[in-house]
Structure 1
Amino acid sequence: AAVQDVALDALAVQLLEPAELGPGSTVQVVAYKLGAALAGGALLALLPTLSWTRLFLLLAAAYWVAAALAWAAPALRRLPRPPPSERRPHTVRLLRDVLAVPGTVWTAGFVLTYKLGEQGASSLFPLLLLDRGVSAPELGLWNGVGAMVCSIAGSSLGGTLLAKHWELLPLLKSVLRLRLGGLACQTALLFHLDALGASLGPGTILRGAALLSLCLQHFLGGLVTTATFTGMMRCSQLAPRALQATHYSLLATLELLGKLLLGALAGALADGLGPHPCFILLLILSALPLVYLGLAPSTLL
């Protein structure tokens, strides 16, 4: 799967024109989310009807169809073949060449940090709602199906706005501000509930606001993801063709590392600091990308 990601990302960077990066990123992000939902939910729902053998044969058939479509795609045949190289470049030299591409260091810093606060909050906030009276089935519906639908809608909207010639950095700045405001509302709700010693009983306004805030944050998260992936592609297109796959793979790895880091450490931070200081820290981490956008190089404007 990782090799497929690298190959597909390299193709997207090489095939898409600058004006197509927004819609192209949308297709990648939305199709990935739909595929994950289909494989993780819909296919398992068919398990009582199909046996495990037939289910895996169905998955194998899907891979064969995808391979056949890729093999027959005219656009892939038009790609220039890479020139033969006498020897492979040393890893240190390759990394130096990648980092020398204009805007790479700034983009690497942004993709490593732009999801820190969001991922930490999305890991902790549902658990805190459980502790305050929200039932597990209801939370699973809102934080599962509802969050996935809102995330896909946000990613689709991001591509639509970029296709309508919205500038990338102003769009990112606007969405990051909205996301910071949403996290501030979640933090204020948490402080309010703890100050009153109240629980989120059925039918209360606070309960509805808390559950809707989950969907809103996933919607904004999907939007900012599409915009960020567009910026990553734009930066990778500045690299020499022979380096574009390596360049984008580095950025994608850092983006994934940034998302996983706070998601994995959120529980330990909440236990060590307490929920209130932890959410204040997450607010600060969510504000940092807004400050960082002011340092964006002219090559990415």
Structure 2
Amino acid sequence: MSSPYLPLGLLYLVQGFPYGLQSGLLPVLLRTQGLSLSHIGLTRALYLPWLLKFLWSPLVEGGRWRWLVLSTGALGVCCALCSLLPLQAGVSPVAWLLLLMHILSSLQDVAVDAVAVGVLRQEQLGLGNMVQVVAYKLGSVLSGGGALTLLGLLGWRAIFLILAMGYFLAVLSACCSPALKGENQQGDPKGHASCDLRLRDLVGGVLRAPGTAWTMAYVLIYKLGEQGSLTMVPLLLLDQGVSPAELGIWSGILSLGFSIAGSCVGGLFLRTGRSVLFLLRGLFILRLSCLLLQTLLLSSLGRDTSIVKVGLFLTLLIQNFLAGVITTATFTLMMHCTRQAPSRVQVSHYSLLSSLEVLGKVVFSAVSGLLVDSLGVSSSFSLFILLSCLPLLHLQSIPPTLH
């Protein structure tokens, strides 16, 4: 427990639970009840609290340890409440609880990120961000594809009780970790100092930090086309007769397993000291090629269904692997940019970047269903391909401070 990696990993693991429930379990339940792709896409509005992290980051900075423990414990209580709801009650009560979980999880995220920025040394950023991304995705696997696969076996109540136990274990781990608790006590000696940050401090310290403007634009666009594809392909396969259990295995467990493997590869690659820029350029080209193949397969979905389905599942695995490497490299780039901001605003700086990263993913995930319903599969996926070219072009103007 003297190392920061284990307690940080547990905290990021449980942080992935709401995302897995939202992206893996809820869409399939809604689709099986006959809702349109447009309506399912609009449920992404439940991610709204993640877009507001920057606004309340000074409040969390004023009591990191208190907010970390309270938010994580409250998330466990929410899961316990979900276990009391019968599945036949419909999705509305679950959706409201998910919204509350997103609010609490975004508060927890600000506190954990603040500790990670302070604890991890420069040479630990690659491995630390690998732990962050891998743990978060593993949490989303357990609560998304895992819950979907085991729903018929364990039942609704048992699944949410297991998730609640995970949150309480994360609280215990954080309380027993001197590496995390000591950092919070050192970084917050007065408990309220950061609440006194004035607007000009935020503007001067956050927005004027070297490379911030470029990084803000990058995190908004780097996943646009990818998000549209990963959101729509599983639902399109569901329309072709693939069962929810099969989707839980392929699109939930296996795909996110490949994503976790990609995150590990990215962390190990960056640990060697190699260039983030070099890695991202190659990955964006590979991702674009995979999306082109996926679009061709979708155009043949109605002709030879069995072969096309296997091909689409394979492209999902490759896509998720590449997404894992890209995400680890991107979060390392974000943290490197944050370290160049004044220490008094680093929490707000990183919260702004991570909020924009979520904004880019959520907004396009929300409208991707509308695009497919209105433009059709071929036209909408052609748009996804064009959008996937934007980050590759944006890398050409990366500032020297971020190399």
User: TM-score, normalising length from structure 2?
Assistant: 0.66
Please report how far the alpha carbon of residue 68 of structure 1 lies from its aligned counterpart in structure 2 after TM superposition: 1.7
**1:168–1:227 CA contact under 8 A, matched in 2:** yes
Q: 2:254 aligns with which of 146, 149, 159?
A: 146
**1:133–1:199 CA contact under 8 A, matched in 2:** no
**1:14–1:241 CA contact under 8 A, matched in 2:** no
Q: Give the letter for the 2:286 counterpart.
A: L
**1:104–1:235 CA contact under 8 A, matched in 2:** yes
Q: How many percent identity over aligned positions?
A: 43
For residues 56-112 of structure 1, the C-alpha deviation after alignment (integer angstroms, 9 at most, x for no partner) is 873564144123224575752784556885982333651343110000000010001
For residues 185-224 of structure 1, the C-alpha deviation after alignment (integer angstroms, 9 at most, x for no partner) is 1012223x16xx50412xx3x3322111111111111110
**2:175–2:181 CA contact under 8 A, matched in 1:** no
Q: Give the letter for the 1:267 counterpart.
A: G
Residue number in structure 1 paired with 2:112: 8
1:217 and 1:73 map into 2 onto residues whose CA distance is: 34
Structure 1, unaligned stretches of length 5 or more? Answer: none
- Larger Cα-atom Rg: 1
Q: 1:90 aligns with which of 187, 194, 198?
A: 198
Please report how far the alpha carbon of residue 165 of structure 1 lies from its aligned counterpart in structure 2 after TM superposition: 1.9
| 1:266–1:165 Cα change, 3 Å | same
Deviates more, 1:273-282 or 1:99-108: 273-282
1:271 and 1:53 map into 2 onto residues whose CA distance is: 33
2:383 and 2:397 map into 1 onto residues whose CA distance is: 22
| 1:121–1:50 Cα change, 3 Å | closer
Q: 1:234 aligns with which of 305, 326, 336?
A: 336
Q: Show the 5 A alignment for 1:149-228.
A: 149-191=257-299, 193=300, 197-201=302-306, 204=307, 206-228=308-330
**1:47–1:55 CA contact under 8 A, matched in 2:** no
**2:205–2:342 CA contact under 8 A, matched in 1:** no
| 1:52–1:233 Cα change, 3 Å | closer
1:89 and 1:129 map into 2 onto residues whose CA distance is: 50
| 1:18–1:132 Cα change, 3 Å | same
| 1:294–1:54 Cα change, 3 Å | closer
Residue number in structure 1 paired with 2:173: 66
Residue number in structure 2 paired with 1:106: 214
More helix by share: 2
Residue number in structure 1 paired with 2:401: 299
Q: Give the letter for the 1:240 counterpart.
A: P
Q: Give the letter for the 1:103 counterpart.
A: G
Please report how far the alpha carbon of residue 164 of structure 1 lies from its aligned counterpart in structure 2 after TM superposition: 1.7
* CA-atom RMSD in angstroms: 3.0
Q: Give the letter for the 2:234 counterpart.
A: P
| 1:102–1:187 Cα change, 3 Å | same
Deviates more, 1:32-41 or 1:159-168: 32-41
| 1:184–1:97 Cα change, 3 Å | same
Residue number in structure 2 paired with 1:290: 392
1:154 and 1:160 map into 2 onto residues whose CA distance is: 10
Query: How many matched pairs?
Result: 295
Residue number in structure 2 paired with 1:244: 346
For residues 112-148 of structure 1, the C-alpha deviation after alignment (integer angstroms, 9 at most, x for no partner) is 1101100001111222333445454433321111111
